[in-house]
Structure 1
Amino acid sequence: MSGDRLTAEVVFDTSVVEDPGDAVLAGVARVLAGAAPAWADRMVAWSPEPRERREIDALATLPDVVRGRTRWATQDRHTGNVELRGATAELNVVVSVNSSPLARVGGRLLLSNGITLTGLREQVAGEPRTDWMRAVFGEICAATRPVWGALYSASEYRAKVMADGPVLRALGRDFSRHLPGLFAGNYFGAPYVGLIGERVFERIGAPAARKAADGWFVDVLHDPFAWRDDDSVTRNADLLAELGPECFFRKGAAEGRVTRAPDW
């Protein structure tokens, strides 16, 4: 869909700047360097607080750059976001960090350590955006083993997660109660495989569900921009019923609805 952005995100239940061997950020750096070499040829890291920029010599230095941009010296902890802009304009990457990975904000568990990639153009690295994003989403999940990830268009995310009206609020983001939604592409890490059950994913089977290490991918749609189509809505509802609708946020659901989430 023209003008609609495509995003892939992964979230973690540990701090991405304090994991042994920098496994998460080093894994992301390897994937991006291989999948988007022109974009990664010359990069700048932006951090909003304070608003400053730093050129990155190579993606291999990403863990040190993120640590440096998110460290609060007075508290000896890391928190905040680092935005990565490359030599070309088709891709935006944001790394989110919190030294207290299971901290709650207003009672909600946000899982504030994560990586978000947004495809800004119709093509990324010379490939159709959807194909490139789907492949890289899969590679990043395999390399970093997040607890959850999703591939979605901006319009699908707004419709399923965000509050209606003028105030921007992500109603669906509270991992202590439910997942934000079931999107065009989904990755369920070990905590959610344990919650939903391995047999459920096996029953869904290929091509919709496929196992990857200790997690499962569930592909609802090949075209993430077709989520409004009648067939797509039906397919999403059928897979929700299989996976357990109580594990997912549903906008407009009755207050006090019973939901399920891992025991964080």
Structure 2
Amino acid sequence: MDNVWFITGSSRGLGRSLTSAVLAAGQRVAATARRPEQLANLVAQYGDRILPLALDVTDKAQINKAVADALAHFSRLDVVVNNAGFGITGAAEGYTDEQVRSQLETNLYAPIAVTRAVLPHLRQQRSGHILQISSAGGRVGNPGVSIYQAAKFGIGGFSEALAQEVAPLGIRVTCVEPGGFRTDWAGESMTFAPEVPGYETTVGPRVAMFQNGTFEPMGDPDKAAQVLLALVENPEPPLHLLLGSEAVAIVEHVENARRAELEKWRPVSVSTDRDGIPNFLDTELGKAYLQRR
């Protein structure tokens, strides 16, 4: 299918791999980046099938302009990929206010803003697929990346609710949740919070892993790009898609532990209901909730 893609953070990492794969497949892309000149070789190769656009995803005016320019050039958008993002490692209390703000603005507020900007057009089309590039860290918490993961957990919740809102409009939503991939996320793009004493055995190992270069990601971004190309053609795409055996193993382990905790504490959890009322799942509201899921 000749889809038109809108990809943020398209000049590096997974965004670059996906932009290249989309073009190689004969499709078209509005490729946004802080430095769109980094896409010059793709423009030389693919001509007007790629539209490079300057975009700082934390700037709402730039978001609206990029979406408008993409629509003016291609007349439609079929796949929107919120890929731009970066990480900062450190203890939760060690982050500066600016570091916290930058993580939430780029990794949470920005994809919400881009999504809101494109939704009126997808709604009018009655079609479209939004790919939120989240992380396995959007389902599993790890020491040292608490603020990054707060953003990723947030985008997961936003996307689950959004998917239910827009499904009758023909719009699909998928949270893509990679494990470690061979990009510069943990390399040149990674920065660090000021060190705080007392976290040497929790945050310390993760800081050391990223700083000394011992972190060896298993994921291949070019393979991930091919998966995403196929995904948007699937008539029943998943709401959540983990990428990488690392992500699958970690999330499976944690979800098993959460299930065990739920069962252990179930009597306490249900003990707070008012007396004389039925179980929630036996109510009309509960049944309707399960049908929506």
Verify same fold: TM over 0.5: no
TM-score normalised per structure 2: 0.29
The structure with the larger Rg is 2
- Select the structure that is richer in strand: 1
- Select the structure that is richer in helix: 2
